[in-house]
Amino acid sequence: MLNKDLNKERKIFVYGSLMEGFFNYKKYLEGNILSKEKGIIKGKLYDMPLKGYPAVIKGTDVVHGELYALKDFNKNLEALDKMENYFSEGNHNNEYNRIVVSVTLESGEKEDAYMYFYNLKDSNDFENNAIYVSNGDWREHKNNLS
């Protein structure tokens, strides 16, 4: 479980518009990063073209992303919660749930981090409007669309 020791760096794993080079990175994270590492998690990545951003749901695929240690973690996490429409743990109205995941780094080491996991409320709507990203890599997926 994520270490709640205030002296221990807490981290967040991002896989979409919050990654470096994307629009929400510039808006929310640029200048607030203490460290960045590439990593992977288990899940299934989808493009939600009607919304313009991705979603990760339960699965066993590899999802690529970036692991960040943030300056002023709590303040930045609060801003990210608002952006991700996360209201509170277990809230049915959350668009994304903030959960703790095990991130595997390029070195093979594992670290626990927060991430935003899509709250699948209407599976029919999701299946009709979301596009499965089979390689689990949002950056590559977006580059292939341009």
Cα dihedral 57, 142, 80, 8 in deg (nearest 10): 80
For 33-64, write each residue's pLDDT tens digit: 999 999 999 999 999 999 999 999 999 999 99
Q: Would you give the DSSP letter of residue 74?
A: H
Longest CA pairwise span in the chain (Å): 45
For 109-123, write each residue's pLDDT tens digit: 999 999 999 998 877
Tell me the C-alpha distance between 14 and 11, whole Å. Answer: 10
What is the pTM (predicted TM-score) of this model? 0.91
Separation of first and last alpha carbons in the chain = 39
pLDDT value at position 6? 47
Whether the per-residue pLDDT at 3 is higher than 90: the answer is no
pLDDT value at position 106? 95
Structural domain includes residue 54:
yes
Structural domain includes residue 1:
no
- Domain housing 47: 11-141
Structural domain includes residue 30:
yes
Q: What is the mean pLDDT of residues 5-23?
A: 85
| CATH number of the domain that residue 131 is part of | 3.10.490.10
